[in-house]
Chains A and B, each alone.
Chain A
């Protein structure tokens, strides 16, 4: 747990420190410098520069903002939808439960990436989102990933809620005339904290990985905004010219996902 949170905290601090780092190193990670392409690591550029002569460390920090934002936004959206659906299914039961869970089964059995490839190629303007803006990109990707991510949460929440609803203290509360909303909010939800936390942590890691895969396929965050995924995809095209450039964003993704998995793992072991 400590290792996982430490890793994530470190990455978050790195993302937050991007402007200070830029001031410290004294250059703009968005301004190309054609005379300084593929520079090796140096005091001015601790990790060297990319194909346009921009500082890799600073771009990595800015990329952390985008990638972590996509991961968090997608995971939170997925958790929200999943918790609501799971609670609703467990509480109402009957045909609603059946329909919702069959829907979840159906989605779970679908291969996500081929579907995401088709969905990501859709025109954002057709669903009312502006095209090509970085923020809209983050939003679009988060929604797409959440559309698939909620299923796992919903199943965990439903199973947990079902067992909680059958507990004596919940029945007692009901018998005492506690309103249903209050019952769910005060008595059921707190008991679900652990499974929800696990699912969220896993979803963050999953979303970061999915974003990098979509960026690799050219369907993720669009340049010039850096994300770990598109930095990696970019470096992948230049892998023979600058193999090191592919190392850092890959490592960052690895560490972020590892951090999330460690946290989830620790919670599930109750440590």
Chain B
């Protein structure tokens, strides 16, 4: 277990380092440094101003030197400054990360509970199986931002029940983003949940439990669900990346502060230091989540190891 953990952590470190290098190089090839954009926006900037500002921001250095300086700083915990928000990057990351984790956690919970409930329905009532399958296929095919927009029109504009976005208003502001995000991810849980539960219900010890006269509900909750947990955790592990991608869409549609929106804003505002660091943080967190799901899976089902 320890060796496995060490190997996986090493792998995460390697992927992160490679990713940072590749992204930095690609971004370095982009045209239009911040100074050129400032010139285009402000006719009063003269030739001397351009040279002065470029030297001040270190943009007159070659690309590799900038990468080494940047990576060295990041390793020492100096994340630098966001040009876009004029704040230290670290100060921006924390609230954004918390916001995203809140959204993701709730969406995962809702998707998991609803998905498993649907799956259970399909497993217990085989006649409803095709219906649940059909619903899952449909849910997977709906573009998330389209759904978000439709929800805003319905619940925020026409009915006025919920805020259209932002982060004020506590739980009410979370309802629509969580619903949008959960809907797209619920399908996987419903399908795998149905399959895993049907399989579990066929296992000998459950037949035994049934024979002993345990009620259907008790059989499902106490015996079948724990067995189905392992495949569901696999889905969670595989879906971590997709969930984070969904968060970016939900945060953009609902103007909700978070990591996804931070990356998007940073890219759109040419704040590449912020974009890079935020991307790396998201990648590391996603990979750690995948690892955690894997470990939980092994712990629950020693056969896998």
Contact = CB atoms under 8 A, between A and B. Distances in A.
A176 to B, nearest CB: 37
A168 B18 CA distance: 41
Contacts of A232: 143, 145-146
Interface string B256-280: 0001100110011000000100110
A interface bracket (residues with beta carbon within 8 Å of B): 35 or more
Given A110-B241, A111-B282, A261-B137, A118 B275 contact: yes
Given A117-B264, A254-B142, 18 more contacts: A102-B11, A108-B238, A108-B241, A109-B15, A110-B283, A113-B245, A113-B248, A114-B282, A118-B26, A126-B30, A127-B29, A212-B145, A212-B146, A213-B143, A213-B144, A217-B264, A246-B146, A246-B149
What 8 pairs between A and B have smallest CB-CB spacing? A113-B245, A111-B244, A257-B141, A106-B15, A126-B29, A258-B141, A250-B146, A109-B287
A205 B141 contact: yes
B286 to A, nearest CB: 5
Nearest to A122: B26
Interface in B26-78: 26-27, 29-31
B290 interface: yes
A240 to B, nearest CB: 8
Interface in A108-131: 108-115, 117-119, 121-123, 125-127
B263 A114 contact: yes
Interface in A16-66: none
A239 interface: yes
A101 to B, nearest CB: 11
Nearest to A259: B141
A72 interface: no
A213 B282 contact: no
Given A109-B240, A113-B249, A122-B29, A216 B263 contact: no
Nearest to B15: A106
A262 interface: yes
A231 to B, nearest CB: 11
Interface residues of B, number: 47
Contact of A117 (B18, B242, B248, B286): B248
Contacts, number: 131
Contact of B11 (A106, A118, A265): A106
Contacts of B267: 117-118, 121
Chain B interface mostly:
helix
B92 interface: no
Interface string B132-155: 010001101111111001000100
A109 B286 contact: yes
Interface of A: 102, 105-106, 108-115, 117-119, 121-123, 125-127, 205, 209, 212-213, 216-218, 232, 236, 239, 243, 246, 250, 253-258, 261-262, 265
Given A109-B290, A111-B282, A115-B279, A243 B153 contact: yes
A80 B289 CA distance: 30
B24 to A, nearest CB: 11
B279 A114 contact: yes
B211 to A, nearest CB: 31
A119 B149 CA distance: 25
Contact of A123 (B31, B242, B264, B278): B31
A265 B67 CA distance: 46
Contacts of B245: 111-114, 213
Nearest to A249: B146
A119 to B, nearest CB: 7
Interface in B279-305: 279, 282-283, 286-287, 290
Contacts of B282: 111, 114
Contacts of B142: 254
Given A254-B141, A261-B140, A114 B11 contact: no
B19 interface: yes
